[in-house]
Amino acid sequence: MPKTQIARLEELSSRVGQELAVSDWMVITQERINLFAEATGDHQWIHVDVARAAKESPYGGTIAHGYLTLSLLARFVQESIKVDNIRMGVNYGLNRVRFTAPVRAGQAVRGHFKLAAFEEIAGGAQVTWNATVAIDGSEKPACVAEMVSRWYV
């Protein structure tokens, strides 16, 4: 999908309430799940034991960690929206997060971003996004979150 291009950070103030960006689809591979397990130390069998998950998991196979799905929001924002005069952006936090459906290994996900709030701060702005991680072919999203970022000019 093409990136949403914004010429100046201040222009976002008039876009509150609008869906501004949708990322490309990304397949969640077993390798990515395993690497996340290694990075976090979360080796629960529903994530990393393919044979056991195929037999015992209610999902029919391994699933991505919820926090893996959540962590992809940063990537999805960066690849789907570009504000020209930003010199730096930082994650400021999350107000709400829900994991509403599992992501099975091999499924594709993408991010949707609706601008919920825009507040000027010293040197930039605090932007709050209603973010959704959609699963290809599923009516239920994998994750819904209210994420807060600070972007500096």
How confident is the model over 52-90, as pLDDT tens digits? 999 999 999 999 999 999 999 999 999 999 999 899 999
Question: Phi and psi dihedrals of 40, rounded to 5?
Answer: -105, -15
Rounded Cα distance, 136 and 58, in Å: 19
Rounded Cα distance, 45 and 56, in Å: 10
How is domain 13-152 classified at the CATH fold level? Answer: Thiol Ester Dehydrase; Chain A (3.10.129)
How confident is the model over 112-151, as pLDDT tens digits? 999 999 999 999 999 999 999 999 999 999 999 999 999 9
Token pair, residue 69, equals: 């799905």
What are the boundaries of each domain within the chain?
13-152
Token pair, residue 62, equals: 């391994």
Element (H, E) at 24: none
Token pair, residue 26, equals: 């990304």
The verdict on pTM exceeding 0.85 is yes
